[in-house]
Structures are given as C-alpha cells and as structure tokens.
Amino acid sequence: MNIHCQICNEPWDDYGLRHGDVAAWEADMIRAGNGCPCCMDNGFTIPDEYTKPEPLVVFNCTDCGETITVDQDEIRYYDKDLAFDEPPQYLTEDGVVCEDCYCDYSECADCGATVHNNNSIYIQHLMKSVCYACIENYSSCDQCGQLEENMTVVENECFCKSCASSKVADCVECDKTIPIDEGILGADNEFYCSMECYDKAKEI
C-alpha cells in the first residue's frame, strides 16, 4: 500500500517506510503529512519540526571525553523498532571507552579485569599483563629479580623456580626444603636434609 506525500504527492510504500527505505525521522515526516525527501530535493518548504534532528548521543567516552553519536540518517525503522549500527564501545574498570581509547587497555591475565596500561604491569618472562591489584600476589626473586607467584622461601629469602633449582632441594624423606649445600646427597643422587633422614631412609 502506498502513502502519498501531502505536499508533493510522491508515493511511498508503507512497508518500505517501516523497513528502512528512509531514515526514521523522514518516515515520521511522511506519515504526518509534512513533506518527504522529494519535497526537500525540489525546494518545497516543510515545517521546522521536521528538519533533520541532531545526532543521537550513544555514550560519552570516560577517557577522552568525546561524545559518540549516530547520524539521524542512519537510524531506520524495522517494523516497530528503531535500528542502527552502534559505534564500538568497551566496558573497562574505568567506565565505557571509545575504540581509539581502548587501545590503551589490556586484560589482566589473572583476574580478567580490563584495566588501563598505566595500571598494569607486563611480566616479560611470563608474557602476560597483570593489574596492580593482582601484582600483590607476586614476589621478586632475591637472586634474579624476576616476579613470580609461587616462590620458594628458604631462610627468609625468596627464589623463583629457576633459581631455586640451583639453590635448594626437597628432602626425599620428609619433603623439607633447605639449601643444597646444607643437605646430604645419597649414592643415587637422592637428597636428604639431615643425617637423621638419611639414616631413616636406609633403615627401610
């Protein structure tokens, strides 16, 4: 079924008006009998309230402060709903940011939070980014300085897995961790923390 413009008599398909043939504001103008796009192209005067509306504000970027909008010509009717392609927006710990600002963010490998790169640390040897909140779970190796979560602590010193393998060992008898130079190495290269554990193992 066609709807004719009340000003220039241009026919418009009713289904098309409801399914994206023209912008939503233009469809409203045609249905109200206040003109159509053809009127505007041919110099007809249409009521001021049916001039093109201001762009639709979608969100404000919390980083750069830019107001992200959609042009009214991009907003169409699809049946009774309005539809348009929304500009990319990203939810972070700081708020909603635009696509350009999102380049300055990364996801914490431990907790999954999206945080600004200024509020995270990239651990090179582990090849992951960790936020400031999660970095508190890490310690610095007293020998090489690398950050790791699970440190081996011996006599109030912390060692990463790599350094610990050359500094400390676990007793095969009692699982106690002590410096290698304080233990006893058995004939088959088994490690004991003391003569007591060595003797106990030999009794079995």
3-state secondary structure string, 122-148?
EEHHHCEEEEHHHHCCCEECCCCCCEE
**Do both 64 and 127 map to the same domain?**
yes
Q: What confidence category does residue 99 fall into, taking pLDDT thresholds of 50, 70 and 90?
A: very high
Compute the CA torsion angle 74, 77, 81, 87 (nearest 10 deg).
Answer: -10
Q: What percent of the chain has pLDDT over 70?
A: 100
**What is the Cα–Cα distance from 38 to 10, expressed in whole angstroms?**
7
Same domain (yes/no): 127, 159? no
9 and 40 in a single domain? The answer is yes
Q: Which of 150, 204, 199 lies closest to 177 in space, CA to CA?
A: 150
What distance in Å separates the CA atoms of residue 140 and residue 157, rounded to the nearest whole number? Answer: 10
Q: Which of 93, 119, 135 is the last residue of a domain?
A: 135
* Residues 120, 153 within the same domain: no
Same domain, 68 and 117: yes
146 and 190 in a single domain? The answer is yes
Does residue 198 share a domain with residue 151? Answer: yes
Q: Same domain for 44 and 62?
A: no
Query: Which range (7-16, 102-111, 146-155) has the least confidence?
Result: 146-155
Last residue of a domain, one of 114, 135, 156: 135
Domain-ending residue, one of 115, 135, 155 = 135
Stronger pLDDT, 152 or 56, i.e. the higher one: 56
* pTM more than 0.85: no
66 and 14 in a common domain: no
Residue 60: give the domain boundaries: 56-72+80-135
Domain count, the chain: 3
Q: What is the pLDDT of residue 204?
A: 61
